Every structure is written in structure tokens, then in C-alpha cells.
Amino acid sequence: MEGSEEQEQGNKKKVTEITTFTVPFALGEINENITFATNSASKPAKEQIISQAYKCHSQGNIQEAAKYYQHFLNQGFKDHIVFSNYGAILQSLGKLKDAELFTRKAIELNPDYANAHSNLGTILSDLGNLKEAELSIRKAIALKPEYAMAHSNLGTTLKGLGNLKEAELSTRKAIELNPDYAMAHSNLGLILKNLGNLKEAELSTRKAIEIKPDFAEAAWNLYGLSNSIEEAEERIHQCLRMDESHLKAKLTLSALKLHQGDQSLFNNLMESTYKDHPLMRSFKWTSTLPNSPELFFHRWALFDSMIKKSKQDRPFYEFGVWRGVSFKYLIKTLKIGYGFDTFEGLPEDWHNEKKGTYSADGIIPNINGGKFIEGKFEDTLPTFFSKSRPMASLINFDADLYSSTICALNYSKPVIDEHTILIFDEIIINKNWEQDEYKALNELCSNNNLSYEVLGVSYFTKQVAVKLIGV
């Protein structure tokens, strides 16, 4: 979260841009003695502490700012801006519950402080409470309609809720209010990419880099819009020139070189402390495959390639529809599709994601050619597949959970043959990827004397496309 805080001193109101950084110190370390440079033997005044805290914060000296904020609070002083700023620092430290507590205190002290409502929204979003996050950020906008950062934060939250068109509108509003807002341009690029508007997504991402030439995360997102391995490698290098410590870029570069026959960087990293990183475990898995799969950099390129390889006169099936974005894309070519979902979010916790995450609020998409079966897979699939169903061109597995994916795989066997392409949306890269869709696929094959050929991989979108052998 970027923070923009107001400083109120006397009758003056000064607006400054406060940026929060990832802070390389433990929370306990900031409770140190503070030496105040004053010309008086008396204790430093409240205004003096606040002024020094704001100065350190605005200069990026987060450690010193945190010390001053904590000293201020320990003295029993109350100021809504201090509580809000300190909450922002705690958020950057990953102390989300503490950050929430201090930010709510800021709102208690000043219910009309828009910045705190917006910051609370981003904290709640980090905690996975997206619905409540949306309400907090909308409150900030109601209080301060010209607040560009709040509009951008709302766009990010709406993207997390799957409301991509609304997310686009909110982010465009942020850019309208602040045309030089690099983060908003970058966020708009991500939203447009998810909507399949790739050319416009690239323009927005490049605009972010034009405004902020050292914006490494935007360069990383540009990598996710690549159309060839050469272009991808060039963009990874661009990202690393901006930030040589960008870990995802550093590790992914080893995979790109590996796919081009150069194992040196990959081998070096596998001998380092990064060998057990989920990205490296994913790359290691693909490196052990009998044939190197085709490499893609966004879901739409992988979908296009697999559609071309599929029997397009057959319908497709999708397990995990959510808002129907992928379904709409697939049906443009394949014409008929069957979608299965509760439309109420995850049926159980998925690692750090809580039950109910990715809810479509019970709204079933209205898509020509689409037939949707609502409910838990274990309840709906036995009935659906008790009747003869057409063979599948491809099946998109986007249920995330092992339990849901193995259920979908077991019941969909009657519509899978040697021509059917299976696409798994969250099968690699995640921290616990071996325990989810990957486990379900391998269990299906083990239990049915099958194997699989990997046709395509997208590391950026965590997708893998396979064909079963032996069906």
C-alpha cells in the first residue's frame, strides 16, 4: 500500500506523499531509546515528536519514523495521523492485525479521516476480507471524492473480488484524477490483461514505467505479457536492471534459460538456499519431463494454443467458473460449455485462503451456449455424469483445492479420451502446489494406470496443459 497522509499543524493543512517500504527490522527492535536534539532541557513537545516522525517518514527513514511514532503513542498522546501512519508501517512489516488495530484507532479519533479508511481497506484486503475492504475504501472515497489513491485501491480490491469491469472503471478514475500515478497505470495493465485486452494492457504497463523508470514490478508485469521466450528474457533483464534483488525475476530467468538449453543458472540456484523455493521446485518438475513443454506467458496464449490443438467440434467443461471470464473466452471458439461451481466461493479453507473466498455472490453467469450446474461437486457431479455426456474438447480445472479437483477428475473420466486436453489453473508455483491440483492429477493417474504428456506451461499464470495417456 502507498500511503498519502495529511499533516495538520495549527491552522495549516499540508498534504505530503508518504510512501511505506518493506522494513528490514523486527517490530521489537523499534522500542529503543530515542535521543532528541533540542536546545531545551525539558522533554520534547508533542509537536516536536510528530514533526520529526513525519520528517523521517517522508524521507523514507521508516525505522526512525516508527521509533518516533511509538514513543509518541507510549506517552499517551493521541493523533489520528500518527495512528494511521504507524498502522501503515505495521502493515509493511506484515503485522496486519496490529496494523488494523492502529488504523481503526485513527478512525475512532477522526471518523472523517479518508486516508485511514483507505488504508484500513488495503489492510483488510491483505487479510483476505475483501468485502469489508471494499466498504472501507468506498467510505474513503465518499469522504474525499478526489482521492486518487483510494480509487486505485478500490480497483485493486474489486479485481481481487473478480469484478474486473468495475475494477477497470475505478482505476481509470484514479488515473483521471492523477495522470502521473504510476501504480494506477500498472494496476490498470493487470486488470486489462485479466480481461484479455492485451495490447491496451501493455500500453498501460509501459506508461507506468515511463512515469517511474525504476518501477521493477511493472517491468515484471510486462514480462507476463510476452509473446516469445526471447521477449520474455529481455523483459526479465529489464526488471533486474531496475531491481537486481527481484527474486521472482531472478529465479524465473533460470527457467527461461533452462528452456533454451542453458542449465548453468538453474544448476547454480539449485545448489543455493533457493533450491526449495516453490518456483524452483516448479522449474525442477518441468525439467524432469520427457519432453520440454511449450512455454507461454499469459493464460490467453495458452488457451489459444490448446484450443487449436483440441477437437473444436466438441464442447468444453470447466470446474471452477467464478465470474466466468475464462468461460467466456473459451466459448467464443468452442461454442458450447458446461460450467460447475458453487458460485459462493471456496467450499473449505485453501491454505491461507478462507472458505468463501472467490465468491461470485451466488450470481450465475448468463453466457450464450453455457450451461451451468450450481452446487458442490460431490453433490452435483454424480447426477450430472449419471447420464451420457459428450466427449470434451478440453477441460479447465480451476477449483484450486485438491479435494475439489480430484472429485472433478474422477467424475469427468467418461468425457475424457486421448484427444481431450486438460488445463490446470493453479497446478504449480504456489507455496504448497504439490498438495493441490498436482496431487489430484497424479493420484488420478496412479489409481487408473494412466500417465500424462505435458503440452504447455505458463509460469506467470501457474497453468499447465496435459493430455492423458492410456485412457
Return the pLDDT at 60: 81
- What is the arithmetic mean of pLDDT over 189-200? 97
Do 52 and 112 belong to one domain? yes
Instruction: Answer yes or no: is pLDDT of 31 > 90.
Output: no
CA distances from 129 to 123, 197, 346 (A): 9, 28, 14
Do 462 and 322 belong to one domain? yes
Write out the three cell numbers for 433.
502446489
- What is the arithmetic mean of pLDDT over 415-422? 98
Look at residue 455 and give its three-state secondary structure.
Answer: strand
DSSP string, 242-261: H-TT-HHHHHHHHHHHHHTT
Instruction: Establish if 433 belongs to a structural domain.
Output: yes
Domain boundary among 144, 170, 193: 144
Instruction: Answer yes or no: is pLDDT of 9 > 70.
Output: no
Instruction: Answer yes or no: is pLDDT of 65 > 90.
Output: no
* Euclidean distance between CA atoms 142 and 158, whole angstroms: 17
Do 280 and 304 belong to one domain? no
Domain boundary among 263, 287, 311: 287
Do 282 and 136 belong to one domain? no
Instruction: Establish if 350 belongs to a structural domain.
Output: yes
Do 346 and 410 belong to one domain? yes
CATH number at residue 427: 3.40.50.150
- The predicted-structure confidence for 157-194, as pLDDT tens digits, reads as follows 999 999 999 999 999 999 999 999 999 999 999 999 99
Instruction: Establish if 114 belongs to a structural domain.
Output: yes
Q: pLDDT-derived band of residue 56, with 50, 70 and 90 as boundaries?
A: confident
Cβ proximity of 124 and 136 under 8 Å = yes
Instruction: Establish if 162 belongs to a structural domain.
Output: no
Please give the tally of structural domains in the chain: 3
421-424 and 12-18: which strand pairing?
unpaired
Apex 424 CA angle, 302 and 331, nearest 5: 60
Instruction: Answer yes or no: is pLDDT of 6 > 70.
Output: no
Instruction: Establish if 31 belongs to a structural domain.
Output: yes
Do 395 and 246 belong to one domain? no
Return the pLDDT at 44: 63
- The predicted-structure confidence for 267-298, as pLDDT tens digits, reads as follows 999 999 999 999 999 999 999 999 999 999 99
Return the pLDDT at 43: 56
CATH number at residue 35: 1.25.40.10
Do 105 and 253 belong to one domain? no
Do 351 and 447 belong to one domain? yes
Instruction: Establish if 225 belongs to a structural domain.
Output: yes
Place of cell 465518499: 142
Do 121 and 256 belong to one domain? no
Nearest-CA neighbor of 175 among 204, 199, 196, 200?
A: 204
- Domain of 351 in residue numbering reads as 294-469
DSSP state of 45: P
Do 361 and 391 belong to one domain? yes
Look at residue 86 and give its three-state secondary structure.
Answer: helix
Instruction: Establish if 328 belongs to a structural domain.
Output: yes
Q: Report the percentage of the chain scoring pLDDT > 90.
A: 80
Cβ proximity of 86 and 116 under 8 Å = no
Could you count the other beta carbons within 10 Å of the beta carbon of residue 7? 19
End-to-end CA separation in angstroms for the chain: 49
Instruction: Answer yes or no: is pLDDT of 29 > 60.
Output: no
Instruction: Establish if 310 belongs to a structural domain.
Output: yes
Do 332 and 265 belong to one domain? no
194-203, 345-354, 393-402: least confident range:
345-354
* Euclidean distance between CA atoms 201 and 381, whole angstroms: 37
Return the pLDDT at 42: 53
Domain boundary among 255, 287, 319: 287
Do 79 and 224 belong to one domain? no
- The predicted-structure confidence for 306-340, as pLDDT tens digits, reads as follows 999 999 999 999 999 999 999 999 999 999 999 99
- What is the arithmetic mean of pLDDT over 229-238? 98
Instruction: Answer yes or no: is pLDDT of 34 > 50.
Output: no
